[in-house]
Structure 1
Amino acid sequence: MNKRQFYVSFLILSSIFIFSQCFRQSSIKDNTDIRGEQFAGSSSCISCHKQVYDTYASTGHFNTSAPATAKTVKGSFAPDHNTFSYTNGSHVIMESRDSGLFQVEYKGSALQAAHRFDIVMGSGRKAQSFLSWKDGKYYQLPLSYFVPVHSWANSPGFPPAYPKFDRIIPGTCFGCHSAAVGIRDVQMEGMRLSEEFEKNQLVYGIDCERCHGPAADHVVFHTSHPAEKNAMHITRIGGLKNQQRLDMCALCHSGLGTPQKSAFDYRPGDALSDYFFPDYTRPVRAAEVDVHGKQYQLFTASKCFVKSNNMNCSSCHNPHRNERDQLELLSRRCMNCHQQENHTFCKLKDANAAKLAANCIDCHMPVSPSGKITLLTDGQASPTPDSMRTHLITVYPEATRKILSRFR
């Protein structure tokens, strides 16, 4: 079997497995949660965990998808700020109508088609993209909103010459941008998986039970036993092995692998290898891995991780709080290992220790442009790459020079 046949076989097997695992009737009438009676819904967590819930509600995970409204869509619908022009003479205008928000295609002054904003994908810190539902399918709209330049932009991978409204979004995309999606039907069409979705039937964002597991029994027990302080009938994250804790994050932060099971079937403690087929493509150096989407591969290639016995994502990140731009706070977590007295502190002599300790991040995890995710704003000749902070923790001489120049 040659390499091409090998990968085709894997894709066929993947589709078969996804079909068998993902097929679900979502017209559940007796439960408020579309996932079934074993799920309690995040609102049930508030009575006992209000402080944690309130802080989590400000995180990117919680806000990674939302119903499209004037409040959740960040882009402007005001004249002179709501138009994108294509090289074929078409233009798309973002319009707010009585019936909702729309991306409307015109050729000259002639209206061609109007497509509704139904779902917002992305927390809006970097960018937002938008989905429109039609006849059981979700389609990505051609224009996204690029937050760093405060502009509508051609969605990543879309043609710059004309507006494309027919890109179908599969359930695997919802697997990392929602806690559940209502799937009406799944069929195999040749070698392609065809899904039909219930309109706007989502558990938006990454909710509590997506990471902590189904909580209905937990809620029932602790409602009846309020004095019990041990968490019962729910996975205790602190009791998981280190690799299990890493796998929880890697499910969505290790790139697009070939799935063998639906991400929605994942429960804390499961092995990541049970959800994706092994990647037999040519290995690349960690420095060549794109910063977008493969944080797990970058992080686990870092010397910090390799030399540690129990380092994982939550060694640096508190998943219940929005700490993304708090570089001094994150740097203090570096100091848990990199202290002056044990000779693992920064070796630079050109700046005082206090200033170095306040910002390890910009030197050792600099913001880097993505080669995979680029957005073309109106009037630009070439797209602008999205930028993310690399999770390959190492020495970056150019970034270090920039930091040192601030101290002079």
Structure 2
Amino acid sequence: MKNRTMRSNRGVWMVTAIAALVTVFVQCMQQPAAAGTDLRGAGYAGAEACRSCHANIYDSYLHTAHNRSTAPANEGTIKGSFERDSNEYYYQPHVKVAMERRDSGLYQVAYLNNQEQQAFRFDLVVGSGRKAQTFLYYQDDKVFQLPVSYFVPMQRWANSPNYPAKQVRFDRNIPIGCFECHSSYIRRTNVSAQDGFRVDHFDQGKIIYGIDCERCHGPAAQHVQFHQANPTEKTAQHIPVQASLTRQQKMDVCATCHSGLRESIKPTFRFTPGAQLSEFLPPDTTKPDPNAIDVHGNQVQLLQASACFENSITMDCSSCHNPHTTERTNMAVFSQRCMSCHQQSGNAFCPKEKELGAGIRANCIDCHMPAKESHVISLQSQGSMQPTPNLVRTHLIGIYPGEGNRFKKL
């Protein structure tokens, strides 16, 4: 009887212990990462920590192009097809790259006369999938671009930017600068030189994908800890507040990525709102012709050259953009923001309404910020003799003759 009671008590204890462990495990899975576990250091909480207080904003942001600017490569994140008859890109009749599933992952495989020459795995996806995606692979502690990208509007594989159109190569080394605008962090371990060029070395897999909350709002560990301990306090503490920043400081947050290609003085991963951008990127002291600025990645310069910006003391990127949600196809939303200044009853409203019709009130954007061809990034799809223009909406707000023809009354 005594043995049976001991066995029964032992069984109850084991069940209780297992239940406790399961409870702790579930709680750990549901709680944000502990302070100090973020790759960037103890000051960072990790984006998931923002969700407990900002659930609606967080869930909306997950679907934005910023959040999806980089991702681990798999069939869920790669837009292109791996199915037969739609998984090949030909450089010449006897030279091709095939996108293939293999036991160890997804690969780009180069063939010469149907004989395999080289094969490298898809490791990273760059691009949200709205326009195009390009793909990277790790080789030891370096990162390289794969030769074939994917052009989403045409649903075709395409030759990757800056690779030759008739030759398969896998050797375009990717520097930290690409990650500074397409991810929130990657751990660089060393810098070396090869053939006169700088080569960055990385800790493979130590990357924070996409542009996360703390990339734009700054380190949030102290902010999260304070508000978890003081849930009734609604005034944000221990984090820069957008409204408290100057106009230039607000612009600088966006300019870390949207002000063109510049070799960083130190990685912009460490830039925080209110800091001096000149400590991270060399100041652009020139004043180039706005019409000569490429539309890819130079949105800040183009906006600052616009009369709308020059004639305002408050306009900044957030005057038109809500970065927490996807609005890019909703011209009416942007147009309403235009008309907060260009009111229909005022002298600043479009004088073309009588000629073009009321439809322009729902779409100021296509006339005054049309899509223009980038000369920095282009993709050559299968069967094309020339690269397909990469159209990017210009942020040089202005008058573009002929763009309003689509609105002319019938």
Q: TM-score, normalised by structure 1?
A: 0.89
Corresponding residue number in structure 2 for 1:119: 124
Corresponding residue number in structure 1 for 2:157: 152
Determine if the alignment matches structure 1 residue 37 to structure 2 residue 42. yes
Determine if the alignment matches structure 1 residue 335 to structure 2 residue 308. no
Counterparts of 1:7-406 in structure 2, within 5 Å, are 31-87=36-92, 89-187=94-192, 192-279=197-284, 283-348=287-352, 349-352=354-357, 354-404=358-408
How far apart, CA to CA, are the structure 1 residues paired with 2:79 and 2:220? 33
Q: Percent identity?
A: 48
Partner of 1:201, secondary structure, is strand
Structure 1: which amino acid aligns with 2:216? C
**TM-aligned CA deviation for residue 30 of structure 1:** 9.3
Partner of 2:38, secondary structure, is coil
How far apart, CA to CA, are the structure 1 residues paired with 2:346 and 2:258? 32
How far apart, CA to CA, are the structure 2 residues paired with 1:383 and 1:270? 40
Deviations 1:46-99 (A, max 9, x none): 111000001111111011000001000000111111111113832100001221
Whichever of the two has the greater Rg, that structure is: 2
After superposition, the CA RMSD in angstroms is: 1.7
**TM-aligned CA deviation for residue 290 of structure 1:** 1.2
Partner of 1:86, secondary structure, is strand
Q: Give the unaligned 5+ runs of structure 1.
A: 1-28
Partner of 1:35, secondary structure, is coil
How far apart, CA to CA, are the structure 1 residues paired with 2:193 and 2:329? 44
Q: Is the 8 A contact 2:173 2:199 kept in 1?
A: no
Structure 1: which amino acid aligns with 2:330? Q
Q: Is the 8 A contact 2:36 2:43 kept in 1?
A: no
Deviations 1:276-330 (A, max 9, x none): 223466x532112111111111111111001011100010000101000000011
Question: Which moved further from structure 2: 209-218 or 250-259?
Answer: 250-259
Q: Is the 8 A contact 2:359 2:407 kept in 1?
A: no
Corresponding residue number in structure 2 for 1:24: none
Q: Are residues 164 and 88 of structure 1, via their aligned partners in 2, closer, same or farther at CA, if it must alter by over 3 Å?
A: farther
How far apart, CA to CA, are the structure 2 residues paired with 1:116 and 1:137? 14
Q: Are residues 171 and 303 of structure 1, via their aligned partners in 2, closer, same or farther at CA, if it must alter by over 3 Å?
A: same
How far apart, CA to CA, are the structure 2 residues paired with 1:357 and 1:42? 38
How far apart, CA to CA, are the structure 2 residues paired with 1:305 and 1:114? 49
Q: TM-score, normalised by structure 2?
A: 0.88
Q: Is the 8 A contact 1:88 1:161 kept in 2?
A: no
Partner of 1:350, secondary structure, is helix
How far apart, CA to CA, are the structure 2 residues paired with 1:191 and 1:114? 27
How far apart, CA to CA, are the structure 2 residues paired with 1:367 and 1:233? 40
Structure 2: which amino acid aligns with 1:143? V
Partner of 1:305, secondary structure, is helix
Partner of 1:252, secondary structure, is helix
**TM-aligned CA deviation for residue 188 of structure 1:** 5.5
Q: Is the 8 A contact 2:45 2:224 kept in 1?
A: yes
Partner of 1:340, secondary structure, is coil
How far apart, CA to CA, are the structure 2 residues paired with 1:191 and 1:143? 26
Task: Tell me which of the two structures has the higher relative contact order, counting C-alpha pairs closer than 8 angstroms and 6 or more residues apart.
Answer: 1
